[in-house]
A and B are shown apart, each in its own frame.
Chain A
Amino acid sequence: MRRGLSPTWLGFYAVVYLLFLYAPVILLPLFAFNDATIIAFPLSGFTTEWFEVLWTTDALHSAVRNSAVVASITAVVSTLLGACVARASARYRFPAQKGILGFIMLPLVLPEIILAVALIVMMMQLGLSLSLWTVIAGHILICTPFSIAILSSAFAGLDQSLEEASFDLGESRAGTFRRITLPLVMPGIISSLLICFTISLDEFIIAFFLTGTDVTLPVYIWSQLRFPTKLPSIMALGTILFVLSIALLVLAEMFRRRAARRQGQGASATEGFA
C-alpha cells in the first residue's frame, strides 16, 4: 500500500491554508479598533474612535446612500429579469434556447474590466452622461446571470401540474401566479435579491468607470486611500461592510435552502412519475 500524507501534515496544511485565506480579513477589525493612526504592529490600544469618525463624515454618508440606491434598484431589476429568464428556460422550449441562455450567462465569466471599458465606450458613443444610472445599468448586467442561476433551480423544481391544477380549479393565470407560483419560488427570489444586492454593494470596477460625480461606497473607499490619516477609519468601514456582506450571504443561503426543502417535500411524493 502506498503511504499517504500523515494526518498531522494534512492538519498543518489546512491551518496554513485558512490563515492564508483569512489573515488579511482579520487585519481589518484588528486595526479598526487599534488606537493609532499608523497601520502597523505592535497594536497600541483599544478605541472606537474610527467608528465614531465614520458617523460624522458626510461624504461617506452620501456614498452609502448612493450605494444603497444602486444596490436596491440593481437587485430588484436583476431579479425581475432573472425570474423571466428562469421561467422561460424551465417551461418552454424554443429555438436556440441553449445558445441564448449561454450568452445571457456570459457576463458571469467576462473580465469585469473589459466589460467596464466596453460600457464606458458605449455610454460615450450614446452621449449619455455618467451617473448612478449608468452604474445601475452595468450592475444589472453582471447581477442578472447570478439571479438566473439562483432562480433557475427554483423554477425548474416547480411541478408544472401544480399550476395546471390551479388553472383547472378556476383560477386565472395571474391568480395562479400569485397563489401558487410566487409563494413556491419566493425563497429563491429573496435569495436572488440578497445576492444581487451584495454583489452590487461590493462592486468597484464598473462603478469606478461608470460613475459621475456621485460615488458609490467602494469608489469612496478607494478615493480615501490617498489620505494616510483616513486609513484607520477605512478599516472600520471595511469591518462593517465585511460583517454586512457575510450576514446577507448567509441569509440568502438560508432562503435558498428553504426553497429547495419546500419543493423537496412536494417532489418526494411525486418521485417515480417522471
Chain B
Amino acid sequence: MSVFKPIIELRDVRKSFGTFEALKGINATIEEGEFFSLLGPSGCGKTTLLRMIAGFEPPTGGDIIIDGKSMDGISANRRPTNMVFQSYAIFPHLSVADNVGYGLKTKKLPKAEIKREVDKALSMVDLVGYGNRAAHELSGGQRQRVALARALVMRPKVILLDEPLSALDKKLRDQMQMELRDLQKTLGITFILVTHDQEEALIMSDRIAVMFEGQIAQLATPEELYRRPATKRVASFIGVMNFLDAAATSHDAAGLTLDIAALGKVTLPASAIPPNVHPSQITKVGIRPEMLTLLFDHDDRAEKEITGEVVSSDYYGDMTYYSVQLPQLASPVTISMRNTAGRSIAAPGSPVRVGWGTESVVLFE
C-alpha cells in the first residue's frame, strides 16, 4: 500500500443485544484496496461487526465511516458496500444472469448494458456461459462464484464476505482462497472477510483483526500476528504455541535478562520487548513448534541447546510433530520438524538434543 487512504473507519463501534454486549468499542481503520480479515471464534462479534458495516444492524454506539461519510442512518441499500453471504443467498427463482444483474436492474440501467456488465462479471469469476442456468443447477463452488459476481458487478467500494468458503470441501476451499485473493489484487477493491479459520485469514489477508468477546485483541499483518502475538490468547488461537514460565531478573540498557523454565537464563536485546509488555510483569514466554529443532547429527549446531526425551511423535507426511519432555517442565513441548530427505523419525523414549534461538522467544505478561 503505497498511498495510505482509509476507506472504512470504525470509531468506538458498540452493539448491545439487551444486556449482552456483542461489541465493546471497536476502533480500526481499513485502507483502500486492502484485504482485511476479522478473525475470531464463534460468538466473538465478527459477524455482527460485518453486518453493521453492511447496514443490516444499527450500532448502539460509535460511528462507522465509509469513504469519508458517516453511515449513521444510512440503510444497507444506499451504502457503497456489497455482501457475499455465508449461505450465498442466490435467488432461487432467478437465473444466474438475473441474479448477477439484480442490482443493476435496481439502478434501472438499460438492458443491453446490464447484459454487458453481467457477462463481464461472470467472466471475472470464470462462469462464462452459465447465465441461463437456474440457481438450483449450480454446485456449491459455482453458487459462491455467482454470489461474488453479483457483488462485483455493483462496483462497490468494499466487498464484505461472511465466511464465504466454510461450506466448501478442503480442495475447493484452497483453490477459492487463491482465486479470491488474486481477484482482489487485480481489481483493487477492498475486501473484508469474516472467518474463524486462522489459516484462511493468514493466507489471504493483508491485515487481520483478531477478535475475542466483542473486542479487537490484536490488529496486525499475518506475519506480525504469528511472530509477535500480543497476548497468550492470540498466540494460542493462531497456530500452536509452547508456553514456558518465565520471570525477568534484570532490565537495563544492555537488555533484558530472563529466567525461563527449562531453558535457563537468557539475555534479550531491549528491542525484543513489545510495547504492551512491561518487563516486570512478564510471567510467560512462548516459542513456536517450528522454532525448536531436534538436532539429529553431531554436526548440527544451534544458538542454544538443551536435552530432552521424546514422549510421542505424530507423523503428518511432510511434517512430524514431536512431544518432547524437557527437564523441570510439567508438560512436554511440541516441536515440528520437516521430514527432509534422509532424516529419520526419533522414536518415543529416545533422548534428543533440542536447539533453539533467543530471537524466537515471545514475551507475555
- CB-CB under 8 A from A262, the residues of chain B are 92-93
- CB-CB under 8 A from A179, the residues of chain B are 102
Total residues of chain B contacting the partner, CB 8 A: 31
With A172-B77, A175-B106, A273-B167 known as contacts, the answer to whether A184 contacts B93 (CB < 8 A) is yes
- CB-CB under 8 A from A171, the residues of chain B are 77, 102-103, 106
A58: Cβ under 8 A from any B Cβ: no
- 8 Å CB interface, A225-274 against B: 262-263, 265-266, 268-270, 272-273
A170 to B154 CA separation, bound complex (whole angstroms): 9
Q: Which residue of B lies closest to A274 (CB)?
A: B87
Would A273 and B154 count as touching, CB distance under 8 A? no
A61 to B206 CA separation, bound complex (whole angstroms): 77
Would A168 and B83 count as touching, CB distance under 8 A? yes
- 8 Å CB interface, B139-181 against A: 140, 143, 150, 154, 167
A263 to B135 CA separation, bound complex (whole angstroms): 11
A231 to B124 CA separation, bound complex (whole angstroms): 74
B-contact bits for A160-185, CB 8 A (1 contact / 0 none):
01101111111110010001100110
A272 to B87 CA separation, bound complex (whole angstroms): 9
A169 to B85 CA separation, bound complex (whole angstroms): 12
- CB-CB under 8 A from B140, the residues of chain A are 269
- CB-CB under 8 A from B81, the residues of chain A are 168
Chain A nearest Cβ from B130, distance in angstroms? 15
- CB-CB under 8 A from B56, the residues of chain A are 164, 167-168
Chain B nearest Cβ from A241, distance in angstroms? 35
Q: Which residue of B lies closest to A163 (CB)?
A: B89
Total residues of chain A contacting the partner, CB 8 A: 26
Would B82 and A266 count as touching, CB distance under 8 A? no
A159: Cβ under 8 A from any B Cβ: yes
- CB-CB under 8 A from A164, the residues of chain B are 56, 76, 83, 85, 89
Would B92 and A273 count as touching, CB distance under 8 A? no
Interface of A is mostly: helix
**Most chain B beta carbons < 10 A, residue from A169, A179, A270, A272:** A169
- CB-CB under 8 A from A269, the residues of chain B are 87-88, 90, 136, 138, 140, 143
A15 to B56 CA separation, bound complex (whole angstroms): 59
Chain B nearest Cβ from A174, distance in angstroms? 11
Would A270 and B77 count as touching, CB distance under 8 A? no
Would A165 and B83 count as touching, CB distance under 8 A? yes
A265 to B107 CA separation, bound complex (whole angstroms): 28
Q: Which residue of A lies closest to B103 (CB)?
A: A169
- CB-CB under 8 A from A273, the residues of chain B are 86-87, 167
27 contacts between A and B (CB under 8 A): A159-B87, A162-B92, A164-B56, A165-B83, A165-B85, A165-B91, A165-B150, A166-B102, A167-B75, A167-B77, A168-B55, A168-B83, A169-B103, A169-B106, A170-B77, A170-B106, A170-B154, A175-B106, A262-B93, A263-B92, A266-B92, A269-B88, A269-B90, A269-B136, A273-B86, A273-B87, A273-B167
